[in-house]
Structure formats: C-alpha cells, structure tokens
A and B are shown apart, each in its own frame.
Chain A
C-alpha cells in the first residue's frame, strides 16, 4: 500500500486552482522533494495530504484512507513540520514538546530523547520566546518526529538552519527513511536536495510538471552536458577541428568548451579518447537541479503564454 496516493487531485480557492490534476504516489520509505516557487501549490498539496482541506477534484489517500474522514489514529502516525513553525512563547521547549506528546499519547521520556536528538537538550527549559529561528525549527522537527511517524511531511524544513544543523537534519531523515518512514519535503533550496532525496517533483502553478530522480529529470529536461577540455600547448586548433561536430568554443588559449545532448556524451568522450595525449584534462558538468528547475518552469510558462 502506498503511503500517499493522489489521483488527479485539484483544490480551488476563490476560482483559483491552487492545485490541479496532480497524480502522485509515495511508496513506504521513499524520500520525495517537492520543488516550486512560492505559490506553486506546495503547501496546499501538503494540507490536502494532512486532511486539513478537502480536494475539490480527484482523490487523496493516506495509507489507503481519505485523510479528512480517516480514523484519528492515522494522525498519530503522521508527523508534520509547517513552514515558519510557531509555538506558544510563554512555554518552555520541554513543555511545548510534552504538550504535543500528550496529544499523541507519547511518553515524556521520548520527549527528552528527541530534544537530545535535535540538539535542544541544554535549552529545553528556556522559554520558546528566547529561541532563535533555528532552535524553533529544531523544536518543530522534534514534534514532527514524535511517535516515530510512518509519514513525515516537512514544509521548507531547512530554512533558518545553519549548514552543520542542515547536515544533521538530513542525517535524521536518512535514518528515518531507512526505517521505512516516507518523507515528503518541500523546498526551494535546490542544491542541497540533489543527493538527499530519492525522487524530485517539480510543481508550477498548481500542476506537477515532472517527477523522477535526478538522472530522469536531466534526461527529460534534455539540457546539454558541458565539457571543458585542457589542451596541450599549440594543439588547440587541431583538436577544435577534430571535434568540429560538437561546435567547440575556444577562448584563444589552451581551453575548449563544448556542449552536447546527454545522449551524445559518450560519443564525444570516445572521440576525445582517440585524441590521446593532446588533451590534458576533461571536466564534465551535468546540469544541476537549479538549471533543470529553471528550464522546466520556463517551458511551462512559455506553453501557458502561447496563444
């Protein structure tokens, strides 16, 4: 059974479709990153999965049930970290976490362990009003992890975290995914997601443009691979003419820049291999998530503005 199943789901607010025609399924233990600009529909999609709002079109299923009408016990197995999480300022971190733990019927021992895990053990008895943005975010993560959830929904989880904490955060996510927890996180910090999620879904104006792993996305976006060659002294023009089919550009020195479709990459590399010692070094750059994301959303915009 899929942890999450969306079937041509749509949600309309005041005649504006915040989410439309979304088909998406998440297997247990899968980590999916949801990408999109602000207002692309990411948060609405999370709210639909959480059962906070009902779809106007299609279906939403979480562990096989519609989340709005589901038994409340299903909610004890879901963890959620909202965007810009906020707490009651007058309560301490420990009291806050215990409050949420009681609602999920979890022990205060688990709270202490979680505070330790997110690095808040020392600040646990301070009021939340004295917490920094990063500390609130960590407290938010701690409450989302209460009761070892089978499904974890995280809305922009790493904003406000410094690089070391971000690393620790993704380590926690990897541990959870290894235990079979499904993780859906939304973000617009693209570079950090590249290696840390199994699948990426790009949302734009309420629609799901593309889903797949990074290699899939690269292939489907069809963005060129770029190569930088360092050529032995005096051989630049000779190499350039040998690789003329790939339209090499030179800066006049010993460097050549080439671009090719992903499918032609190996053919190009074989040709480079034939040139032997005339080529000193090769640097291959695959398009990053940033470039893919920009390409996919630009293409969608172009389609929309076409008459």
Chain B
C-alpha cells in the first residue's frame, strides 16, 4: 500500500480511538438536535420548524464549533510528533515529507468529516422522520450545509497544520491556533462591521467588500449557506442584500478549495525544509 494511505489509515485509527473524535461527534449531534427542535423559538413556531431555519441555526453552530474542533485536531499534528520523537523515526523510513503531511491530513479530514456527517446527519434524520410529509423543504440546502461544514473544517485543519509546521513548541502552536480562531471567527467580522458602521457603509465598494469576505473562510461558508438558497435567505436576514448574493456559488466553492489547498501546500513546503 502507498505510504500516503498507510499514514492516513493510521491517523484515522488513532483518531477513532482518541476520545476527541467521539466527543466531537456527540457534541455536534447533540447541539444539532437541540437546534433542530428548539431552533423554532425565534420564529414563533412550536414544533419542528422549516428545514431552512435549521440550516440557518446549524450554519451558525458550524462557524463557531467546527473550526475549533479542526484546530484542536491539527495544531499538534506535526509539532507534537516532532516533540514526542515519533517523527524522527518516521523520517528514516522510505517516506517523503509531503506524504507524511498529506497522509496525516487525509486521516484527520476523514475523522472530522465523519464527526460532522454523523453529527449533523442524526439531526437531519430526526427532522426527516418527525416532519409531516412534504413540509420539510429544500433538502439540497441541508446537504450543502453538511458538505460545506466539512470543507470549512478541512480549511481550518489545513490552517492548523500550517501553524504546526511553523512553531518549535506545541504550546506556541496552541496559542496561535486560539488566536487564529478568534481572528477568523470573531474579530474579522467585527472589524469589518466596525469599518462599515464608521464610514456609514461607504468605506468599501460592494466589489471590494465581496473580495474582503473571500479573505475569511468562515465568511465564504456563511455566504454559501445563508445567501445561496432563496428559502434560507428569508430566515437568515440576507434577503435584503442583493449585492452579496451576486457572488456565484461556484466562486465561493472555489474560494473554500483555495482555503484548503493553499495552507496545505505551504505546510508541505515548510515541513520539507524544516531541519530536525
């Protein structure tokens, strides 16, 4: 078997035994179920709300939780093995360094993907089973939500790997990962909002604003999920923002792919040059 797949397989096995994978799945499933059944409260409904509401709620959950889980899984991935000494031994085997990075990354992606698909899938099943026939709504938006949640998580895995390849101690990596989460999940949007408020919306042209949103994977994720589907737009408060909806969904998906690929390739390049 190829070295890449051998390393990926070991990482999956390790991840599934590691209680983190199970915990992440349970947390995602629990919160998703809670949001699916209680998420109607803001809209005044009682009982199972339209699927679109659940999608909006789960999208918010993803933005906060999935990057966090991804960074926790990945910040230690390279530096941890360097510190424990397992990397030294692995590098003496007939394996290229990019294969080590790629194999571990694939393994972590599978683990995170499983946690997300199972966690959100449980919520989806619960809705499908309990909703009256024909009222569930647009299932495509739900599948897109799951797929983009995995993609967002994968982008943050790649960022975590980049952090892990840059530092010389895992404590530094942990600090940087927390900083990255704060920056991309909270501070970026606050800063953008502040800028727009201070300039009464004239600080950025609509075209520039779209580009700036592309600079943050969580915003790309929000745009795909909250603004791309007509029924979801009504519940997410995006209905009145035609400028935002003008970004084609293909461009947004492409942006997510870049957010996955770029940090990963950088990590491989940096790790290949790293002295041990």
Contacts and interface: CB of A to CB of B under 8 A. Distances in A.
B272 to A, nearest CB: 12
A143 interface: yes
Contact of B92 (A52, A84, A95, A99): A52
B212 to A, nearest CB: 41
B92 A91 contact: no
A85 interface: yes
B132 interface: no
Interface string A73-84: 101101010101
A52 B3 contact: no
A302 interface: no
B6 A82 contact: no
A47 B276 contact: yes
Nearest to B18: A90
Contacts of B95: 72, 103
A57 B234 CA distance: 68
Interface in A220-263: none
B173 to A, nearest CB: 19
- The majority secondary structure among interface residues of chain B is helix
B237 to A, nearest CB: 45
B17 A90 contact: yes
B91 A52 contact: yes
Contacts of B94: 72-73, 75-76, 103-104
B1 A82 contact: no
Which 9 pairs, one residue from A and one from B, show the smallest C-beta to C-beta distance? A72-B94, A75-B94, A80-B92, A103-B93, A90-B17, A102-B6, A86-B85, A50-B92, A86-B84
Interface in B79-93: 84-86, 88-93
A285 interface: no
Interface of B: 1, 3, 6-7, 10, 13-14, 17-18, 84-86, 88-96, 275-276
A262 B175 CA distance: 63
A99 B6 contact: yes
A82 B93 contact: no
27 contacts: A47-B276, A52-B88, A52-B92, A52-B276, A53-B275, A53-B276, A72-B95, A72-B96, A73-B94, A75-B93, A78-B92, A80-B89, A82-B88, A85-B85, A85-B89, A88-B10, A88-B14, A91-B10, A99-B10, A102-B6, A103-B3, A103-B6, A103-B7, A103-B95, A104-B93, A104-B94, A143-B89
B93 A100 contact: yes
Contacts of B89: 80, 82, 85, 143
Interface in A4-47: 47
Interface of A: 47, 50, 52-53, 72-73, 75-76, 78, 80, 82, 84-88, 90-91, 95, 99-100, 102-104, 143
B68 to A, nearest CB: 22
A103 B2 CA distance: 8
A50 B89 CA distance: 10
A80 B89 CA distance: 7
A84 B88 CA distance: 11
B3 A87 contact: no
Contacts of A95: 13
A87 B90 CA distance: 10
Contact of B1 (A53, A76, A102, A143): A102
A84 B84 CA distance: 10
A214 B145 CA distance: 72
A158 to B, nearest CB: 18
Given A72-B94, A82-B85, A103-B6, 16 more contacts: A50-B91, A52-B91, A72-B95, A72-B96, A80-B89, A82-B88, A87-B86, A88-B14, A88-B86, A91-B14, A95-B13, A99-B6, A99-B10, A102-B6, A103-B94, A104-B93
A15 to B, nearest CB: 15
A143 B3 CA distance: 16
Contacts of A87: 86
A95 B90 CA distance: 15
A86 B88 CA distance: 10
Contacts of A47: 276
A15 B105 CA distance: 35
B15 to A, nearest CB: 9
Contacts of A80: 89, 92
Nearest to B10: A99
A214 to B, nearest CB: 30
Nearest to A51: B92
A104 B10 CA distance: 15
Contacts of B13: 91, 95
B7 to A, nearest CB: 8
Contacts of A90: 14, 17-18
B99 to A, nearest CB: 10
A106 B30 CA distance: 44
